[in-house]
Amino acid sequence: MKNFQNGNSPKAAHAALDAIDRRILRTLQRDSTISNQTLADEVGLSPPACLKRVRRLRAEGVIERTAAMLAPAALGHPLLTVVRIKLDRPAEAEMRAFEARMRDLPRVAQCLTVAGDIDYVVLVRSKDVAHYQDFARNILASAPGIRAYTSEIVLEVAKWTTEIPVEDG
């Protein structure tokens, strides 16, 4: 489980980043397919020194992973639904069981534990409204431990980024 308030990994919390590390991170967030030579040129290092830093940032957990951002509509899942879920008993065992179920569902893009009147915010990808309705009926309405849920269809995404601010220290 990742704790987004305190950093994603214990190693990452202790990493000391200098100005060059931060430039590397900003550049890789924009384009992780950049060649090491081009990255080195952009940050003012030799290619071996740049590669060494990138490997260190990975080893320290600052760079968790590299992934391709796919276009949901191009893959037939343009509909995004925000689901707010309240559990019957938000005790540790029930929460972990719910989270495990959500991790196993490919259409669940995000499952966030939240504070407040609800327990989770879940983002679900679907082909269309009928496809989401099938998910709601067969997964959410029949899932053990869910007291209530509300669904909000996203009409437009004004901003969607995976970039984390990499501020000068």
Domain assignments of the chain as residue spans, ordered by start:
10-59, 73-153
Q: What's the pLDDT tens digit per position in 25-80?
A: 999 999 999 999 999 999 999 999 999 999 999 999 999 999 999 999 999 999 99
Smallest CA-to-CA distance from 15 within 62, 50, 83, 75 is with 62
Q: In sequence order, which ranges of the chain are alpha helices (DSSP H)?
A: 10-13, 19-30, 36-43, 47-59, 92-103, 129-135
73-153, what's its fold? Alpha-Beta Plaits (3.30.70)
Report the DSSP beta bridge partners of residue 33.
Answer: none
Mean pLDDT of 76-96: 95
In terms of pTM, does the model score above 0.95? Answer: no
Residue spans of beta strands (DSSP E) within 71-163: 79-87, 108-113, 120-126, 146-153
What token pair was written down for 165? 């601010």
Q: How confident is the model at residue 16 (pLDDT cuts 50, 70, 90)?
A: confident
Mean pLDDT of the chain: 91
10-59, what's its fold? Arc Repressor Mutant, subunit A (1.10.10)
